[in-house]
Amino acid sequence: MNKIVYIGLLAVLFSCKSNSIAQEKRGNTSDKIKKEKVETPKFGDLNSDVIRSNSILQNQMAPNTIYLTVIVLEVLENRNICTKNYPNVGRVKVKSVKGSGSGIVNMISQNQEIMVALRKGISKDVSDLKSKIHQEISIVVREKPCSDFNHTMYEIVSISGAS
């Protein structure tokens, strides 16, 4: 009885396998069937090194950064922000917020005046900011919480010319 069951099982397995092979060989007539093209999503022009303000998306911004258009009101020296002394600080008025990265705690609003710290040791930032007083420029700032977590300070990451 056991031999009959084993022979029957083998016959079923071989018959299933031979049908699938026959079906695979018959499928070679795919020349007549046109395959659909699958388009991948495009996230901007990969050949362009220039980032336009409209093309900045949240997932393209670094965490804790905000892209702003501001008017420079003044550049101050030796100011404290969050109990930390900065050699150069700019006071700016926000015209518009162009985009932001993830993790922003205190979002900046339009027409808000903020103090932004300039990176230490980079004199080009100071001269760029001083030459643009009362002019509209685009900046990227990084948000840093103060040690008491009640206030937030912003440090300039990059400055670009008039927008």
Residue 127, domain CATH: 2.40.50
Query: 61 in a domain, yes or no?
Result: yes
Q: Looking at the domain assignment, is residue 11 inside a domain?
A: no
Q: Is 105 helix (H, G, I), strand (E, B) or coil?
A: coil
Other Cβ atoms within 10 Å of 121 Cβ, number: 7
Q: Which structural domain, as residue segments, surrounds residue 69?
A: 56-160
Report if residue 113 sits inside a domain: yes
For strands 152-160 and 113-117, give the pairing. Answer: parallel
Residue carrying the six token digits 């001083």: 130
Measured CA to CA, the distance from residue 118 to residue 105 in angstroms comes to 20
Output the tens digit of pLDDT for each of the chain's 163 residues: 788 888 888 787 777 655 445 555 555 555 555 566 666 665 554 444 444 444 444 447 889 999 999 999 999 999 998 888 888 899 999 999 999 888 888 889 999 999 999 887 777 778 888 888 999 999 999 999 888 888 899 999 988 875 4
CA separation for the pair 94, 97 (Å, rounded): 7
- With residue 79 as reference, give the H or E element that holds it: strand 65-81
What predicted TM-score, i.e. pTM, was given to this entire model?
A: 0.60
